[in-house]
Amino acid sequence: MVRAQFLLLSACLLCLAATSVRDGVYSKAQAARGKVSYGQDCAKCHGANLEGGESAPPLFGPEFQTKWTGRTAGDLFNLILKTMPTDDPGSLSRRQCADLVAVVLESNDYPAGPKDLDSGADALAAIHIEPKK
Ligand code: HEC
């Protein structure tokens, strides 16, 4: 019984913790840091301003947001961690990937907040991607 109550309480805390990319989940300083890695590792394919290139898609805009709606910041993070850059996948640290997700969020005009985006899997999985209003 105590255990059941505990489970219920944890489930509730999890739902309270669920947030959206509209809630200011990264900081401006983090996005600025991410921009430096972006320039080194991503711009040659995705363009200097994430606009996309000959072989790589844009990383902002209504189409990008629609495609990612219903998924989480953790999904975006994992895609970058495991598959990007396509010419050297697996070369980025978790911290670099969190900074790069911040760049993508900033470019999609989601607001910055007081804290850096956490690179922990649980924190990332609780942040839902929604279209910009
Ligand atoms: C050598 C070229 C290349 C580099 C460098 C590269 N990417 Fe990509 N990226 C691609 C291609 C190609 C795709 C599309 C893959 C697919 O559709 O399967 C892609 C897809 C993506 C996506 C998913 C886009 C979507 O519409 O869902 C993200 C996010 C992304 N890249 C982020 C990054 C980041 C961040 C970096 C820098 C660490 C990076 N990429 C570096 C080629 C590249």
Asked whether residue 105 is domain-assigned, the answer is: yes
Q: What is the pLDDT of residues 40-93, one digit of tens each?
A: 999 999 999 999 999 999 999 999 999 999 999 999 999 999 999 999 999 999
Nearest C-alpha to atom 4 of ligand 1 is from which residue? 85
Q: Cα of 28 to ligand 1 centre, how many Å?
A: 22
**Domains contained in the chain, number:** 1
Nearest C-alpha to atom 10 of ligand 1 is from which residue? 56
Chain position carrying tokens 């839902």: 128
Instruction: Give the Cα-Cα-Cα angle 73, 75, 76 (nearest 5 degrees).
Output: 65
Give residue 27's domain range. Answer: 20-128
CATH of the domain at 58: 1.10.760.10
Asked whether residue 15 is domain-assigned, the answer is: no
- pTM for the predicted model, two decimal places: 0.90
Q: Do 36 and 96 meet the contact criterion of CB atoms below 8 Å apart?
A: no
Q: Cα of 48 to ligand 1 centre, how many Å?
A: 13
